[in-house]
Structure 1
Amino acid sequence: MRTALVVGGTGQVGRAVVPALVADGWQVRVLSRGSRQDAATVEGWGATSVVGDRHDPDVRDRALAGGVDVVVDVVGYDDRDATAWLAARDRIGSAVVVSSAAVYVDGAGDGFETDAFGTFPVPLDESQPTVEAGRDTYATGKVGLERAWLDSDVPTTALRAAAIHGPGCVQPREWTFVRRVLDGRDVRVLAYDGLSRFQTVATSVLADLVRLAAAQPADRVLNAADPDAPTVAEIARVVDATLGAESSTVTFAGPPQGNLGLTPWAVPHPLVLDTGLAGRELGHVARGGYADTAPDGIHWLVDEAARRDWREAFPGFVRMEAMGDFFDYAAEDAYLADRRS
């Protein structure tokens, strides 16, 4: 039986990837720094748990015991997370690593981490330039991770993921609209006329790409995205439809005015990924668009928010609040009152 080692397999992506590989006939080991509860979850998926830190040589020896056909790294950050495994290259048949679309820049060098958001072709394919490899930022780290694996003799698929959504997501952008429904807000104000498009990808789509890439080892870089790229207004309507809510949308041209109109998808230029290469290389066919895959994650958000404080449940969303207050209802109410006067 083919053996896969999934690094970070109990997180948002891993919880979709591990069951997909098990269902595809793989013997799966899951490396995580987790708890007994994580181990029980892994065993419930039909996989084997290995607890520890990837940078501990003894832990790596246990994880790679007897060799594995593929290492799937869903949480690697930079080149150091690759070299830890490549030191045991003789026990690794191939690799699939989850990178990010945040690596891309436009012709002027603008991208995700610059003062000006990049102006990208629509759709954007894998030939688009990227930032240089490094360790200083998320994007430069991801390029370093890609390069370390792809420059080795281990056949590696790097998946450049769009904005991830799904159950278990620690940075759930959809919480922006889910919380509004739970708070009883029946109106939302959106910048850029509600037309911002920031490409999404469901964890189930990522899992299917991982499954296909693991079975077809090769050196390649592929965009990983939903088959559609909904606008922010369309995303809001999917949340409403999922939760049985009815909200009105008010929009204005141009960027957010302070917190007014601010969402995690508020970008001045569209980010739409071309996924044609994944179809040609792997035979990937998406099983549904955003409206089909998002509801599972939306319901999960409601359940998690009922179980514990949302700031504890969604730490990645809390970090995104460095952009501003996504729930500045007072600013919205003042704007709406001014419009009515």
Structure 2
Amino acid sequence: MKRAVVIGASGQIGRPVVEALTRDGWAVTAASRGGGRDAGWDEGVRTVRLDRADDAALAAVVGDACDLVVDVVAYDAAHARQLTALAGRIGSAVVISSVSVYEDGAGRGFDTQDRPDGFPRYPLPVPETQPTVAAGEESYSTRKAAMERELLAPGGDFPVTVLRPGAVHGPYSPLPRELYFVKRNLDGRERRVLAYRGESRFHSSGARNIAELVRLAAARPGSRVLNACDAEAPTVAGIGAAIDAVMGVETRTTCLDGPPAGSVGLTPWSVPLPVVYDMSAAERELGYRPVVSYAESLPETVGWLTGALRGQDWRERFPLLARACPDLFDYAAEDAWHTA
């Protein structure tokens, strides 16, 4: 039986990756900081605790020979070097990067979006051949770019598939964008405001679809970079309507023609220009077909979020989201805007 190690197995992407590989006949070692086990995993999945910063511990988990390493939590060039140092023991690897590495050819990317005229003007859709930011240590984007360069440097001597997801969604997310609509519905908010006419599109990536790409890449090792997104890129208004349908509510939506008015109209998807990624390379090279659509994935996500919020303040439950978007639920400002 082929042996696979999944690093970061207990997270949002790692859980369905373990499931997908197990169903495909892999003997999986699920490595994570806490060493936890998902209730949906097969009994044959082996779990281990792993401190990613400990090179010797990682080498021990990989062992003398491992057919596949899937790294869900690799972040920078140092993490990439950990893997390339073990290349002689690893048959192939699949590593999760991010679409944040792209820039628009004029120096604009995710790191410049808050500057005047800094939002990137990407082609529609964005192919994997689009320029990327310079590798470095300055930001999440530059660190991911540095990681990719280190991983791909060996070429065919160490087959690595780099996957670039967009706005990842699904249960166990530390940054659940869908909370914006779910919490409003749970709080009985009957109206909402959306910036940019509700037409903002920031391409989503279902965790189960990413896991399917991992499964396919594991079966066809190679050195490549692929976008890892859903089949569709719904508008923010479409996302809100789909979540309303799952929760059985009706919400009146008012749209602003332009940007948010302070916190009013601001959502985790609010972008002035569409951000959509080309999935044709994954279809062509791996035969990729999404296993779930965005709408089909929502009941699981909504159910998980509803349970996660029960009896807890959203800021305490999701501190990463609270730091990134502290004013998501400024109801007083919204009410004042409606009555102005």
Do the two structures share a fold, i.e. TM-score over 0.5?
A: yes
Within 1, Cα distance between the matches of 2:119 and 2:165? Answer: 18
Residue 317 (structure 1) shift: 1.1
Within 1, Cα distance between the matches of 2:303 and 2:37? Answer: 24
1:63 pairs with one of 49, 61, 64: 61
- Contact 1:100–1:161 (8 Å) recurs in 2: yes
Residue 61 (structure 1) shift: 2.9
Identity among equivalent pairs (%): 49
Summarize deviations over 1:90-121 as a string: whole Å, max 9, x none. 11111101110111111211111102210111
Residue 46 (structure 1) shift: 3.2
Instruction: Out of 304-313 and 204-213, give the one that drifted further.
Output: 304-313
- Which residue number corresponds to residue 71 of structure 2? 73
- Which residue number corresponds to residue 21 of structure 1? 21
Structure 2: runs of 5+ lacking an equivalent: none
Summarize deviations over 1:47-67 as a string: whole Å, max 9, x none. 111212123133123211231
Q: Number of paired residues?
A: 334
- Which residue number corresponds to residue 261 of structure 2? 257
Structure 1: runs of 5+ lacking an equivalent: none
TM-score, normalised via structure 2 length: 0.94
- Contact 1:6–1:31 (8 Å) recurs in 2: yes
> 1:42–1:92: structure 2 CA closer, same or farther, 3 Å change rule?
farther
TM-score, normalised via structure 1 length: 0.94
Amino acid at match of 2:328: F
Check if 1:236 corresponds to 2:240.
yes
Check if 1:311 corresponds to 2:311.
no
Summarize deviations over 1:226-277 as a string: whole Å, max 9, x none. 1000000001111111111110110011111111110111111000111010
Q: Where does 1:103-252 land on structure 2 (aligned, <5 Å)?
A: 103-114=101-112, 115=115, 116-152=118-154, 153-252=157-256
Within 2, Cα distance between the matches of 1:68 and 1:79? Answer: 22
Instruction: Out of 299-308 and 259-268, give the one that drifted further.
Output: 299-308
Summarize deviations over 1:68-105 as a string: whole Å, max 9, x none. 11110011101111111222221111110111011111
- Contact 2:94–2:217 (8 Å) recurs in 1: yes
Residue 43 (structure 1) shift: 6.5
SS at match of 1:95: strand
SS at match of 2:310: helix
Residue 309 (structure 1) shift: 3.6
Summarize deviations over 1:199-232 as a string: whole Å, max 9, x none. 1010000000000001100011100111000000
Within 2, Cα distance between the matches of 1:45 and 1:170? Answer: 26
Within 2, Cα distance between the matches of 1:225 and 1:108? Answer: 24
Within 2, Cα distance between the matches of 1:238 and 1:317? Answer: 21
Within 2, Cα distance between the matches of 1:289 and 1:99? Answer: 22
Q: CA RMSD in A?
A: 1.5
Residue 44 (structure 1) shift: 5.1
